[in-house]
Amino acid sequence: MTTALDQLKQYTTVVADTGDFQQLARYKPQDATTNPSLILKAVQKDNYRPLLEKTVRDHASRPVGDIIDRLLVAFGVEILKIVPGRVSTEVDARLSFDVQKSIEKAHQLVALYEAAGIDRERVLIKLASTWEGVRAAEVLQQEGINCNMTLLFSLAQAVACAQARAKLISPFVGRIYDWYKKNAGANWDEARDGGANDPGVQSVKRIYAYYKKFGYPTEVMGASFRTTSQVAELAGCDLLTISPDLLQKLHESNEPVQRKLCPQQAASVPIKRVAHDEPTFRYLLNDDAMATEKLAEGIRLFAADAVKLEQLITPLR
């Protein structure tokens, strides 16, 4: 019988969300995504220690930030030996509000990939979906550097990313779900509020419909899943990036997966255009407590893990 994972692949491009590239081959994803937290988790495993030590040893005289860039790219290069498509590599979250430094960091990462023989078409530069991150993406896209806009929690962010012609966005399903569940407290009813009614699922469906209705080519990749149910509810989305534990569950399941999203149906959804100027973006984001809180929290957490990576590397130099 066909597995749930194989069924999902009929409708959606499956992407692995991990820095643990040794797990990738069994699931045969098209692409892979990484972030500082995933890389930090991976390098603390014994089987990745040699890659960490070699990267530090080969570039010990360089600044710690440069060594981290090379470590991220080293993981990306190994991942691209396994997946046939693209890898996403993230710009330091501490640059989320600095347009020029984000652009410079993206240039550095792409240059390292190209020096390793990787074509830039196989690399997606991940940027936080702040106003400044979107502006950096706009410049990079014009230069032929494709961007994956992360930490995205609202339609306002998605519209700004599409207007900037970002290649791809990663709306965070699970973190949206977490926020609403926590705020509902005892009033949360999983049977009523989960599944198709899951607020994270609903957010991605709304963004997908907006893009298809108004003809934006930016790809929608649902991310940050908590359950296989959330994944199944978005079957048909352009891409879905899924953690290894959920990929394993889908691989072991024979539950039927039906297509839930398609461009033709999405284009008929009644939805109004959203202004994409800076004042509107900032107001709409500020007006959305969930998006405001989760964006700020996400930047803090990724930045904290970047610091932990620095602390892990410094004694090895």
Q: Per-residue confidence at 258, pLDDT binned at 50, 70, 90? A: very high
pLDDT of residue 267: 80
Query: For residue 317, what pLDDT is reported?
Result: 84
- The answer, yes or no, to whether residue 71 has pLDDT greater than 80, is yes
Catalytic residue among 9, 105, 126, 167: 126
Residue 317 lies in a domain: no
Residue 37 lies in a domain: yes
What is the mean predicted confidence (pLDDT) over 290-315? Answer: 96
Mean pLDDT, to the nearest integer, of 93-112? 98
What confidence tier does 73 reach under pLDDT thresholds 50, 70, 90? very high
Quote the domain boundaries for residue 295. Answer: 4-311
Residue 177 lies in a domain: yes
pLDDT tens profile 21-44: 988 888 999 999 998 899 999 999
Q: Residue 1 pLDDT > 80, yes or no? A: no
> Does residue 276 fall inside a structural domain?
yes
The reported pLDDT for the residue numbered 119 is 98
Q: Is 83 exposed, middle or buried (0-12, 13-18, 19+ CB in 10 A)?
A: buried
Report the chain's C-alpha Rg in angstroms: 19
Helix (H, G, I), strand (E, B) or coil at 90: strand
Does 228 map to a domain? yes
Instruction: State the pLDDT confidence band at 269, using cuts at 50, 70 and 90.
Output: confident
What distance in Å separates the CA atoms of residue 183 and residue 187, rounded to the nearest whole number?
9
**pLDDT at site 25:** 86
Is the CB of residue 171 less than 8 Å from the CB of residue 240?
no
- Is 65 part of any domain? yes
Residue 51 lies in a domain: yes
Classify residue 213: in a domain, yes or no.
yes
Helix (H) or strand (E) holding 41: helix 36-43
Specify the CATH number for the domain of residue 60: 3.20.20.70
Number of domains in the chain: 1
Q: Is 126 a catalytic residue?
A: yes
Q: Is the model's pLDDT at 69 over the cut of 90?
A: yes
Q: Is pLDDT of 232 > 80?
A: yes
Q: Please tell me the pTM assigned to this model.
A: 0.96
Residue type, 223: A
